[in-house]
Amino acid sequence: MRQALYAAPEGSTPLYTPWTNRVLENEKIYQSCGARKYKPVHRKVRPVPSYMPDAKGQEFKPIPLPELSPLPLDPPSIANFKSTGRLTKDRLDKILSRIPENFLKPREIDLLTHVLQTRQMALAFDDQERGTFSPKYFPDYEIPVIEHTPWIQPPIRIPKAIEDEVWRLLVEQLNAGKFEHSTASYRSRIFAVEKKPASLGLRLVNDVQELNKVTVRDSALPPRPTASS
């Protein structure tokens, strides 16, 4: 648990249970002047300054953008809206309810509804709808590392009080395509911290300190975008 706190983001606090209180009650190093939990700077694990194993780096593929059709001058009325696919009537009402009163005219709301309906695949209301980047244009990134031995870290025990919630989050991320089953020679730790405020639930955090120890530091700037003529 103490090792997990080293990797926790600044301001994160563990979910307090009798078990975590017993483990951390004598851990004074994490207390700052504001009585906040944090990871001391001197314990931060940084990447290795070394040469890139592959000078080409990551290859980016251009994404062809289709030509957009012009907006209609006479959009269909919102009264004729029909739920199709991802954008339902309840979701549309939720979006429109965030618009300040009298901010848009009735015909502008009709046009906004038309745009949302024709571009509804750009909307996401949960993690499964959010999805991931297309591997056609964004292939899996290969992290450059120095020569090392694969590590197998013992898992951090999840308190019984939050086991069901952590399991639900794991299954949710798996179904969304963010996690996948692995047969790799590595095993790193994960742990759960409370979101701020606590009513937002838990957040899963991956302990990547071991990976940082062998990762080659990339000090290059990202490609500079240029406007197409």
Q: Give per-residue pLDDT as tens, 72-96.
A: 999 999 999 988 888 999 999 999 9
Q: What is the enclosing helix (H) or strand (E) of 93?
A: helix 89-96
Q: Does a structural domain hold residue 224?
A: no
Phi (first) and psi of residue 132, to 5 degrees = -135, 170
Give yes or no: residues 28 and 133 share one domain.
no
Give yes or no: residues 152 and 197 share one domain.
yes
Distance CA 105, CA 91 (A): 20
Instruction: Write down which residue in 97, 125, 140 finishes a domain.
Output: 140
* CATH number for the domain harbouring residue 160: 3.10.10
Which candidate, 152, 188, 209, 166, places its Cα nearest to that of 8?
209
With a CB cutoff of 8 Å and minimum separation 6, the contacts of 171 are none
CB-CB contact of 68 with 104 (8 Å): no
Q: Could you tell me the pTM of the whole model?
A: 0.58
Q: Give per-residue pLDDT as tens, 200-211.
A: 888 888 888 899
CB-CB contact of 14 with 20 (8 Å): yes
Q: What are 104-111's contacts with CB under 8 Å, separation 24+? A: 107/75, 109/78, 110/75, 110/76, 110/77, 110/78, 111/71, 111/72, 111/75
**What is the residue type of 152?**
I
List the domain range (segments joined by +) for residue 184: 2-58+144-214
Backbone region of residue 100 per phi and psi (left: phi > 0; alpha: psi in -120 to 50; beta: other values): beta
Q: Over 70: is that where the pLDDT of 26 sits?
A: no
Share of the chain above pLDDT 90, in %: 26
Number of domains composing the chain: 2
Q: Does a structural domain hold residue 151?
A: yes
The per-residue pLDDT for 3 is 58
User: CA angle 25-26-32, nearest 5°?
Assistant: 90
Q: Does a structural domain hold residue 34?
A: yes
Q: Does a structural domain hold residue 221?
A: no
Q: Does a structural domain hold residue 46?
A: yes
- DSSP type of residue 64: P
CA 88 to chain centroid, in Å, comes to 25
Give yes or no: residues 74 and 31 share one domain.
no
